[in-house]
Amino acid sequence: MMEEKFDLNRVQVSGIVQRIWDYGEDIFVRLEFYPDEDRPPRYITLKITGGMIDGEFVTLQPGELVQVEGHLADAPYTESIREFFNDAKAQPFYEDTELAAEWNGIEIKRVGTQIVVTTLAAVTANPNLNNVMIQGIVTRSWVGGADLFARLAVYDENTEIIKASNNGKLPKRKPHYITIRILKGELDGKKITMQKRNRVRVSGHLHIHFYRQSLPAILERANKKKLVETLPPKGDGIYALRDSLYVVGNSIVVLASRSNRRKAEKV
């Protein structure tokens, strides 16, 4: 059987523990960190699988300054419409209407990104670590404002096997999906271009982008556009603050050939 080759997926970050909670056997941590020297702090979720690192239970409490290493993983979850209204700090206006059951049945599929921790250490001074090395296949790329974005499918050694190997074939894995961002579409004075199915290797740092998500946008995402017509006055002004994680690239290697890139430019 062929030998499996894995993508790089490494992250190193330091910060202050804000909150700790459990879900099943796993421990989750809300970590405050700085994306860079000129920006205010941001927050990311850490996952400590089984509450252990290297087979040993961790000792951890809020307020500690820590340094962690691990890999980025996407974490799908479902949000109820009531949770959206709670985040938006708004009252569910539909409760006493004939459409209450339809509203209460709305669920929104979301995907967060977290760090699965492999090493953790308490530190006395913050080294302001924020380093990422990521590699994957471009599933799509787009321009947002002046910046270039790409969604990567990352097949690292921690990805879930969804079909076991057989007949000499490699196992089929479920990739992690991570978004990279190239500021102004350039690095080292070079314009960066990426095509679908290119493999890229990026070094950079974590950044959390905040944005507003409105109630009409939620309804559209949940395939309930017809309910937009039932919104009360100013109902379309209800929104919740959301965040999205990017890896901002400091350097990039596009693993492609010149001939393939020329063909893609002609299409």
pLDDT in tens, 154-174: 999 999 999 888 777 888 999
Is the residue at 1 inside a domain?
Answer: no
pLDDT, one tens digit per residue, over 102-111 is 999 999 998 8
CB within 8 Å of 47: residues ≥ 6 apart? 26, 27, 28, 73, 75, 114, 115, 116, 117
Compute the distance between CA of residue 133 and CA of residue 9 in angstroms, rounded to an integer: 6
pLDDT, one tens digit per residue, over 165-201 is 877 788 899 999 999 999 999 999 999 999 999 999 9
135, 181, 182: which is closest to 154 by C-alpha?
135
Is the residue at 81 inside a domain?
Answer: yes
- Whichever domain contains 43, its CATH number is 2.40.50.140
* Structural domains of the chain, count: 1
Instruction: Note the pTM of the prediction, 2 decimals.
Output: 0.87
pLDDT, one tens digit per residue, over 46-76 is 999 999 999 999 999 999 999 999 999 998 8
Is the residue at 195 inside a domain?
Answer: yes
Is the residue at 39 inside a domain?
Answer: yes
Q: Which residue has the tokens 């961790």?
A: 58
* Range of the structural domain that residue 161 is part of: 9-266
Q: Which residue has the tokens 């953790």?
A: 120
Is the residue at 68 inside a domain?
Answer: yes
